[in-house]
């Protein structure tokens, strides 16, 4: 059967765009059009093979549980076209394989942008950004990345192509695009999307403050947000992390740095910056050198290297649990370095980097133990590990998958606990 | 055949005899909502074509779950019922069954200032919800004109929108999680903390499901602090196209006024007849400067004044009688005009432009935290003037604010005069919006006098709210004309790439047009239905979903 599948795939995408994965019962296929995606899925279904989407490859596909089952890894790299740019409506119809960076290159000369999202979205494909729901893609100005999705096109397990139609908002049943958003290729293979884009802000203003404690910094952040401040970026860096990221600042133990960027029409950006400043001062803070914020922003844009190592884990918490989660992690691993980012009124994300006393990253069993202790402490204090799923809906998700994909060919290893 | 007595007994076992009814009066009441097509039959004295088997008033999610299990066991459908203010027939029990009224579930449980959220039960009326929040210094920000007669659960089930949605969003933008009873009778929470979650967003798959997937019993909703400042202003633009462009520029600069309303020529003309000064609400507000939120009132209007008692003296009675016959004469002239809608649409449009010579009216209002609202207001007004809008000052804004709930209560006189009135709210991206306006206006205009305003604006598009008034001979002719208007209007909207509903929902009215709206993507909706309600217990035959049940 295997050679047949290879031949069938080659007949669809051409022999140059299909190759076996060495040592595995799997092929990597790169279709050149949504119609080819549909044919690849039909051919895979006929052979009983699993269809595993491949984006920019930042996240390893979940294939461990598939055992010896034949797999077709469908890459979106050739689906990289901007189909339509509607500048009047600020909508951009793009194929799923386009990366955030490539899209920005099309938008920037026109004074447009995807918006103020964390820079990690630049390396991902649009299909990956929509297909995988992660909190690393939220923006205090625009919301979560899925809020930017006005419509998606996808191929279902039976080879049918669907397009959820575009409207600013509608009241015609549930939001069907949201079924595909976060479905990790299990309900449909996303081939294109219509995204809400933004005009490049008229100005961007930066500011930095030193707060007497992380608790005060968190309080200041939510004080400003509740006054409707909508920063383009806001980050709290604790003293341990600041020593590495901003070595020139002499922070006392327990103090924290707040860096902020605001954007928009000049008056509004200034208003937002002033709201953050007055909140910081109200919580006992003092202004710091704006160069700190400039350095942070450059790193955020990828113009300057970020001092490693990368955060060990991330947890999310609501406004009233953030400080407790922070202190719990510090108590569990005294040398931990932390920063808080991705703020909105629902909460923020704590990024924990576990280091030993000398400042070097922990490795080996000690690291695993520290990691486990810190995670446990954080969740006990009311935080959530990223990627957690409510188990209550698991049977309904299984039923939904069965309804759309009765033979279980669509990324069958994904969204199944335990991961 | 459903054993009505068995249904009643089983329900009584769940909630007790006092909270179940099979009385004809109750069944009749719960057989309909405010769908104008049903009002045509009502005016004619016709009985509802289908009745629920029983009406039940649960008080807890647990009771709702038990009721759903009863229905599942007996093979009868469930129809959830909130305030009954829907305008699409979503609660009509087309296959009979158990109508579940949520209005005894009204608790506000978790109220958390630090997270700006609260847990509220589905049956709470919108007005009581907002008054309760206003008392604590907050607002949910959803102010539909039905706020006195709609429930929170109804809002969520239909993806409702209120008058201030341009700032606060539609209700689906403000939900942090739902508790629902599924069609299998299980109680589930659709969301944990949103930012930590993988998999599809079940909250967004349940919002707007109009009772076809389950019954929403409570929701965690996002709140905003009560506004510290409110600024309203009227503007005038040369024509609809100029007004659309002005609104687009405001929204795409990242500014978020709470209210935007652009009236087309006819709507502007009709609006100019309103006698604002005689309005008791306006007097009550007594504005002498920029309107500020009333203390403790949020954005709610004062309660309507009591009607004047009928006159007593002979002379007064005579005057009253004369007044009534004038009204009758006016009514006749009115219906005569409505029989020539195309003529009226073209003539009134031109006349309105000629006489008024003031183009289209635009109402814009901002509210919120003091500092940011001041800055946004200045930027918004400046942007409008740059786009060619002429500032009319605060009066038109104040007048709208004072009268904004009155409109829905003006339907009765039209029906009394033998005509009918309804509204059609559609939406599209900015680049399709002008096409949408002209296409739908022309489609409806063949059968009815039609006017429109643009409200609920977004960076990527806007909604258009058409109001149409028509007249036809008898009830059958009226229903035929009514159906023809909707068919023409909605098909025109689909043809130019608009959506067939922005915030009223689908119900029975738009069911036949759902396939045109979603096409192959209906497969997703059908799969979600099979997942949450495998036995088709929940509000069968609605939302354009096929049902194997037989009509009663």
DSSP string, B514-541: HHHHHGGGHHHHHHHHHHH-TT--BSTT
pLDDT of residue A200: 94
In chain A, residues with a C-beta closer than 8 Å to the C-beta of B375 are 267-268, 271
- Give the whole-angstrom CA distance, residue A89 versus residue A168: 9
DSSP state of B309: P
pLDDT band at A66 (very low <50, low <70, confident <90, very high): confident
Tally of CB atoms within 10 A around B451: 24
Question: Does residue B92 contact residue B33 with C-beta atoms inside 8 Å?
Answer: yes
In this predicted model, what pLDDT tens digit does every residue of B411-433 receive, in sequence order? 788 888 889 999 999 999 999 99
In this predicted model, what pLDDT tens digit does every residue of B383-410 receive, in sequence order? 999 999 999 999 998 888 887 877 667 7
- Give the whole-angstrom CA distance, residue B358 versus residue B264: 11
| pTM of the model as a whole | 0.92
Residue with tokens 């890894």: A73
Contacts of B498 (CB under 8 A, 6+ apart): A167, B426, B427, B428, B432, B436, B440
- Give the whole-angstrom CA distance, residue B340 versus residue B472: 10
- Give the whole-angstrom CA distance, residue A76 versus residue A154: 12
pLDDT band at B288 (very low <50, low <70, confident <90, very high): very low
Is A330's pLDDT higher than 50?
Answer: yes
Question: Does residue B290 contact residue B496 with C-beta atoms inside 8 Å?
Answer: no
Indicate the residue of A86, A275, A390 with minimum beta-carbon distance to B371.
Answer: A275
Tokens of B261: 């309303």
- Give the whole-angstrom CA distance, residue B289 versus residue A247: 54
Is A316's pLDDT higher than 50?
Answer: yes
More confident of the two residues B279 and B122: B122
Is B1's pLDDT higher than 80?
Answer: no
Residue of A nearest to B460 (CA): A89
Mean pLDDT of A348-359: 81
Query: Mean pLDDT, chain B, as a whole number?
Result: 88
- Give the whole-angstrom CA distance, residue A13 versus residue A75: 12
DSSP state of B221: E
Angle made by CA atoms B408, B412, B416, in degrees to the nearest 5: 160
More confident of the two residues B327 and B92: B92
Q: How far does the CA of residue B523 sit from the closest CA of chain A (Å)?
A: 8
- Give the whole-angstrom CA distance, residue B403 versus residue B412: 17
Backbone dihedral region of A131: left (phi > 0), alpha (psi from -120 to 50 degrees) or beta?
alpha
Mean pLDDT of B503-513: 97
pLDDT of residue A310: 82
Mean pLDDT check: name the lowest of A121-125, B19-23, B34-38, B125-129: A121-125
Partner-chain contact A182 B502, CB within 8 Å: no
SS3 of residue B350 by DSSP? helix
Angle made by CA atoms A387, B201, B170, in degrees to the nearest 5: 130
Closest C-alpha to A233, from A349, A111, A83, A394: A349
**CA dihedral of B56, B60, B61, B65, whole degrees rounded to 10:** -50
DSSP state of B227: P
In chain A, residues with a C-beta closer than 8 Å to the C-beta of B116 are 226, 345
Omega before A309 cis (within 30°)?
Answer: yes
Is A191's pLDDT higher than 50?
Answer: yes
Q: For chain A, say whether B493 makes contact (Cβ under 8 Å).
A: no
Is B191's pLDDT higher than 80?
Answer: no
Q: For chain A, say whether B498 makes contact (Cβ under 8 Å).
A: yes
Q: How far does the CA of residue A246 sit from the closest CA of chain B (Å)?
A: 28
DSSP state of B172: G
In chain A, residues with a C-beta closer than 8 Å to the C-beta of B228 are none
- Give the whole-angstrom CA distance, residue A259 versus residue A278: 14
Candidate ranges A64-68, A318-322, B270-274, B315-319; pick with highest mean pLDDT: A318-322
Residue of B nearest to A170 (CA): B502
pLDDT band at B295 (very low <50, low <70, confident <90, very high): very low
pLDDT of residue B346: 74
- Give the whole-angstrom CA distance, residue B378 versus residue B375: 5
Tokens of B204: 């967004």
Angle made by CA atoms B503, B509, B515, in degrees to the nearest 5: 85
More confident of the two residues B278 and A253: A253
Which residues are bridge partners to A361 per DSSP? A355
Mean pLDDT of A351-365: 76
Q: How far does the CA of residue B503 sit from the closest CA of chain A (Å)?
A: 5
Q: How far does the CA of residue A160 sit from the closest CA of chain B (Å)?
A: 8
A-B contacts at Cβ under 8 angstroms: 284
Strands B108-112 and B360-368 turn out to be unpaired
Query: Mean pLDDT, chain A, as a whole number?
Result: 91
Residue B394: exposed, middle, or buried by beta-carbon count in 10 A (0-12, 13-18, 19+)?
middle
Q: For chain A, say whether B505 makes contact (Cβ under 8 Å).
A: yes
Q: Is the dihedral of CA A175, A177, A183, A186 positive or negative?
A: positive
pLDDT band at A366 (very low <50, low <70, confident <90, very high): confident
In this predicted model, what pLDDT tens digit does every residue of B34-87 receive, in sequence order? 999 999 999 999 999 999 999 999 999 999 999 999 999 999 999 999 999 999
Is B488's pLDDT higher than 70?
Answer: yes
DSSP string, B248-305: HHHHHTT---SEEEEE-HHHHHHHTT--GGG-HHHHHH--SSS--PBTTTBTPPPPPP
SS3 of residue A19 by DSSP? strand
Partner-chain contact B193 A342, CB within 8 Å: no
Partner-chain contact A390 B534, CB within 8 Å: no
pLDDT of residue A309: 80
Cβ under 8 Å to A: B residues 194-213: 194-202, 204-210, 213
Mean pLDDT of A177-202: 95
More confident of the two residues B470 and B1: B470
pLDDT of residue A79: 97
- Give the whole-angstrom CA distance, residue B125 versus residue B148: 7
- Give the whole-angstrom CA distance, residue B181 versus residue B215: 5
Mean pLDDT of B17-29: 97
CA distances from B321 to B273, B313, B412, B414 (A): 24, 12, 20, 20
Is B306's pLDDT higher than 60?
Answer: no
DSSP state of A99: B
Contacts of A227 (CB under 8 A, 6+ apart): A275, A279, B369, B371, B372
Determine the distance from the C-alpha atom of residue B270 to the mean position of all C-alpha atoms in its chain, rounded to a whole number.
Answer: 21
End-to-end CA distance of chain A: 30
- H helix intervals, B33-76: 36-43, 61-74
Is A270's pLDDT higher than 80?
Answer: yes
- H helix intervals, A171-321: 177-180, 214-226, 239-245, 266-282, 290-300
Closest C-alpha to A47, from A402, A410, A409, A413: A409
pLDDT band at B256 (very low <50, low <70, confident <90, very high): very high
Partner-chain contact A167 B429, CB within 8 Å: yes
ipTM for the predicted complex:
0.93
pLDDT band at B275 (very low <50, low <70, confident <90, very high): very low
Mean pLDDT of B233-257: 96
Mean pLDDT of B269-297: 45
Q: How far does the CA of residue A110 sit from the closest CA of chain B (Å)?
A: 15
Question: Does residue B252 contact residue B378 with C-beta atoms inside 8 Å?
Answer: no
Angle made by CA atoms A275, A279, A284, in degrees to the nearest 5: 150
B392: part of which helix (H) or strand (E)? strand B390-393
Residue A150 backbone phi and psi in degrees, to 5: -90, -20
A311: part of which helix (H) or strand (E)? none
- Give the whole-angstrom CA distance, residue B181 versus residue B173: 22
- Give the whole-angstrom CA distance, residue A183 versus residue A411: 10
- Give the whole-angstrom CA distance, residue B375 versus residue B389: 19
Task: Starting at the earlier edge strand, list the strands of the sheet with A91-95.
Answer: A82-86, A91-95, A189-196, A149-155, A161-163
Mean pLDDT of B354-377: 87
Q: What percent of chain A has pLDDT over 90?
A: 68
Q: What percent of chain B has pLDDT over 70?
A: 85
Is B351's pLDDT higher than 70?
Answer: no
């Amino acid at each position: 059967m295997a050679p047949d599948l290879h031949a069938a795939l080659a007949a669809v995408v051409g022999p140059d765009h299909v190759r076996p994965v060495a040592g595995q019962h799997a092929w990597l296929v790169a279709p050149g059009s949504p119609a080819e995606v549909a044919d690849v899925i039909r051919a895979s279904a006929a052979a009983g093979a699993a269809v595993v989407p491949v984006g920019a490859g930042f996240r390893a596909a979940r294939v461990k549980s598939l055992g010896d089952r034949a797999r077709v890894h469908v890459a979106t790299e050739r689906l990289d076209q901007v189909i339509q740019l509607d500048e009047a409506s600020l909508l951009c119809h793009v194929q799923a394989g386009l990366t955030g960076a490539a899209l920005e290159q099309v938008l920037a000369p026109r004074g447009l942008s995807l918006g103020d999202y964390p820079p990690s979205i630049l390396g991902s494909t649009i299909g990956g950004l929509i297909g995988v729901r992660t909190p690393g893609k939220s923006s205090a100005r625009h919301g979560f990345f899925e809020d930017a999705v006005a419509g998606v096109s996808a191929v279902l397990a039976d080879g049918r192509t669907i397009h959820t139609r575009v409207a600013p908002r509608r009241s015609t049943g549930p939001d069907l695009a949201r079924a595909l958003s976060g479905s990790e290729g299990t309900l449909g293979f996303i081939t294109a999307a219509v995204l809400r884009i933004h005009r490049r802000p008229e100005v961007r203003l930066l500011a930095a403050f030193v707060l007497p404690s992380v608790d005060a910094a968190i309080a200041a952040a939510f004080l400003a947000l509740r006054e409707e401040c909508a920063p383009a970026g806001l980050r709290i860096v604790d003293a341990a992390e600041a020593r590495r990221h901003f070595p020139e600042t002499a922070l006392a133990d327990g103090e924290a740095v707040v860096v902020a960027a605001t954007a928009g029409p000049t008056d509004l950006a200034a208003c937002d910056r002033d709201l953050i400043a007055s909140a910081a001062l109200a919580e006992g803070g003092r202004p710091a050198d704006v160069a700190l914020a400039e350095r942070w922003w450059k790193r955020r844009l990828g113009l300057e290297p970020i001092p490693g190592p990368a955060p060990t884990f991330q947890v999310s918490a609501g406004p009233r649990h953030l400080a407790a989660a922070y202190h719990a992690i510090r108590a569990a691993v005294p040398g931990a370095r932390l920063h808080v980012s991705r703020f909105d009124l629902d909460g923020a994300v704590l990024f924990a980097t576990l280091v030993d006393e000398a400042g070097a990253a922990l490795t080996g069993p000690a690291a695993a133990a520290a990691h486990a202790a810190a995670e446990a402490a954080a969740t006990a204090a009311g935080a959530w590990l990223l990627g957690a799923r409510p188990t209550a809906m698991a049977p309904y998700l299984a039923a939904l998958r069965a309804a759309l994909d009765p033979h279980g060919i669509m990324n069958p290893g994904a969204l199944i606990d335990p991961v | 055949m459903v054993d009505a007595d068995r249904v009643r007994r089983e329900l009584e076992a769940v909630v007790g005899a006092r909270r179940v009814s099979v009385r004809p009066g109750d069944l009749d009441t719960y057989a309909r909502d405010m769908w104008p097509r049903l009002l045509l039959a009502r005016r004619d004295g016709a009985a509802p074509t289908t009745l629920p088997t029983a009406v039940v008033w649960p008080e807890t999610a647990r009771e709702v779950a038990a009721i759903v299990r009863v229905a599942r066991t007996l093979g009868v459908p469930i129809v959830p019922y909130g305030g009954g203010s829907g305008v699409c027939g979503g609660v009509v029990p087309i296959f009979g069954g158990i109508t579940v009224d949520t209005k005894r579930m009204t608790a506000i449980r978790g109220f958390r200032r630090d997270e700006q959220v609260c847990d509220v039960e589905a049956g709470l009326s919108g007005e009581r919800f907002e008054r309760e929040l206003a008392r604590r210094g907050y607002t949910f920000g959803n102010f539909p004109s039905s706020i006195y007669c709609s429930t929170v659960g109804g809002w969520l089930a239909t993806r409702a929108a209120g008058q201030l949605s341009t700032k606060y969003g539609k209700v689906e933008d403000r939900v942090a999680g739902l508790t629902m009873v599924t069609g299998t009778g299980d109680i589930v929470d659709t969301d944990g903390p949103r930012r930590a979650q993988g998999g599809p967003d079940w909250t967004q798959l349940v919002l707007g499901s109009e009772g076809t997937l389950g019954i929403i019993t409570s929701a965690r909703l996002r709140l905003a602090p009560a506004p510290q400042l409110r600024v309203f202003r009227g503007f005038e633009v040369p024509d609809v196209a100029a007004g659309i462009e002005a609104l687009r520029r405001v929204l795409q600069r990242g500014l978020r006024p709470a209210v935007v309303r652009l009236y087309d020529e006819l709507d502007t003309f009709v609006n100019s007849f309103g006698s604002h000064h005689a309005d008791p609400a306006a007097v009550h507000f007594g504005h002498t400067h920029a309107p500020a939120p009333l203390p403790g009132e949020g954005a709610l209007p004062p309660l309507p004044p009591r009607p004047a008692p009928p006159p007593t003296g002979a002379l007064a009675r005579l005057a009253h009688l004369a007044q009534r016959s004038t009204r009758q004469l006016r009514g006749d002239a009115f219906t005569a005009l409505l029989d020539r809608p195309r003529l009226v649409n073209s003539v009134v449009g031109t006349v309105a432009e000629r006489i008024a010579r003031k183009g289209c009216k635009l109402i814009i209002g901002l509210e919120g935290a003091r500092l940011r609202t001041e800055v946004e207001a200045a930027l918004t007004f400046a942007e409008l003037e740059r786009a060619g809008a002429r500032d009319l000052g605060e009066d038109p804004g104040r007048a709208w604010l004072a009268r904004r709930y009155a409109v829905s209560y003006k339907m009765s006189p039209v029906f009394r005069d033998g005509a009918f009135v309804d509204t059609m709210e559609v939406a599209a991206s900015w680049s399709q919006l002008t096409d949408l306006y002209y296409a739908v206006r022309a489609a409806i205009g063949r059968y009815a006098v039609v006017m429109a305003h643009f409200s609920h604006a977004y960076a990527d598009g806007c909604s258009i709210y058409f109001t149409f008034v028509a007249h036809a001979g008898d009830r059958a002719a009226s229903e035929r004309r009514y159906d023809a208007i909707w068919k023409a209007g909605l098909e025109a909207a689909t043809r130019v790439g608009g959506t067939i509903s922005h915030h009223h929902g689908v119900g029975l009215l738009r069911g036949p047009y759902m396939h045109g709206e979603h096409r192959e993507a209906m497969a997703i909706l059908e799969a979600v239905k099979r997942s949450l309600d495998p036995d088709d217990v929940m509000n069968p035959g609605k939302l354009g979903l096929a049902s194997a049940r037989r009509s009663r």
